[in-house]
Structure 1
């Protein structure tokens, strides 16, 4: 857990494409645009040319994805009297809003909003291209499709007027963008504990297999290297996910005991090995001695360099990005089993000095924790059995985000260094002073 502190003191065009080719994701669909009644204009029908892009095409569940919806061409016209002398829509009076339709692994709508920014438009001329952005949180793994939905063009010249454009038919909106979401890694907590770490051939060792689903059929077996031996017994896990058994160890080749559910051991449904030594009672020849060495499993833990985290200052009035780093985290995995690990973080809201916040209420000023984002980095030390995967760049917030992880595998472990650059977006005219929050890291 660490304390973070920060101190305050026109329409877009589509990306370039090869000549004669539309940019990736650019689509066209028939549209019906209804002008405001005050304008006295007939409805406008025609094609809308649109394009949707995302900042992260391969997010994990829980990530926040920023989407951009560009309306490059619309049949809508300015809500002006075409017969009025000098009729013109002034600059910077057009505000677009719209919807993006999600389908596939996740359904719903994303609201997008654009800036009030446009060049002057004469009556009868087409409205300019507009760009709108919004965000959504990924809630399910799999492919998610994004299609352009309806949009509204609001003008604030003389009167506040809305031109509402919808697809001619729901099935008429084609998919403009696709992303593939993956599930967050989950820790495999299955484990075995032995009442004795050695015994003569045929000795019964008491085994506790824990961390299994209640009622699961659990197999406890001997292992020699990566292969199972003939020593085996089964039992059902109780309501706490624990199975208590006695395993007769008769195979002299057995060097460890494992537990698993299903037809065979796997990294995702089995425990790591608990070392066991079969003491061979066969007499040795004169002048010889047996030498036995045991590798004992350790624990999973972490340490973090430094103490509190101080972010850069931003000027009063302008606001902007306050940068910093979380401080290097060292994760040590000495369990010697198949379970990977995940390191997540979450942050509280930033609280500052008293005074009137932007909402106008009195009290301590807050900057939402969702204003903090990070870009993680992760590396495995030489000799580590696992590869370290950094989490996605994006918002941390009170809901939390993945900082780094390793995957389940037949044998995992090692030493890993994890870090992240962080940025706090401070709103303009946030009262001067120091703002603090608590960042909590959880290793599992």
Structure 2
């Protein structure tokens, strides 16, 4: 049945889904027109909101780019690649490859979203070298594991509200991860998705006649040419000692941060961790820079598109459009149903504001007073917004850009399969937020 459903979804997306850059241009126009028509803002006011906010996410953009780059460098290090190759060798069939890549992506994304995106894409390529399987579904399966990231260890919303002095601290105080990431309802959702997402992907596997395969030779990495080290500069570039002299102190700093100072996880700490582990695992500066040159290719979409998303976010927030949208969705909610409507509203807003931290800044001023007025569980409402943000990433192609860049595909190649996952995972998450 899922194979039958996925067939028209794939064809629909292949025909009508534009490139993500076109998508962000269209969303810019939609947000601007909605601000004028719904919020009665003047065109000049909307233009100024957009232009003034266009560069508002430069710091966050660099953090996101570093998550991608450092995650790629770590995932492409020799020890990790050997582990992925060993795991890939256990897949003996197309169905087994689909299930395996989904599970690896889910696990890696739960640990850290950037790591999950890169590991999933690299593992899909490794499997495609060994197993004859529909390459589109294989890559879509790798991306589908991303749906759990905001319920995992690097979820930006639960980590934000667990940090002393966050922007809503005066209203809700500090809410520890025991009430969010490690709460029963959240872990139950994660477990259910670990079972359902691989199964759904396996059931969408096209027939032999409908499958699209890729020549494994096209996936081979070009080996670096062997050269003799003669210049002093080359000796430094290939120095293991230099990498260890810098890499080990970086890891010691992290031990001090976590063990002696009781520091917490945030984007900067995660990027620091991934960078210095990659420095050590790549062994020489030359190897690290070779991986960096490959990693940076996948960051083009972040560089060009994030300023447009910053402009959209500025229009949504400053015009009152995001608040009106959220208020309308929660106006008919009760304490029991507010988590569900928070989830749905967050999924809708995420299409326009694909940033977990930015989305919480947009929706917290609406959701927190509603939760207090209705007597709802604030921690559950925060996680409902987090899950909504993660959920519609299956529809919003922006975060698929790193995966697509590594795999060499277009968004239209995988989004049909992701569309099926969108509806089924949405049902699971909704039930979990409401009933678990």
Give TM-score scaled by structure 1 length: 0.23
Structure with max Cα Rg: 1
Which is strand-richer, 1 or 2? Answer: 1
User: What TM-score comes out, normalization by structure 2 length?
Assistant: 0.23
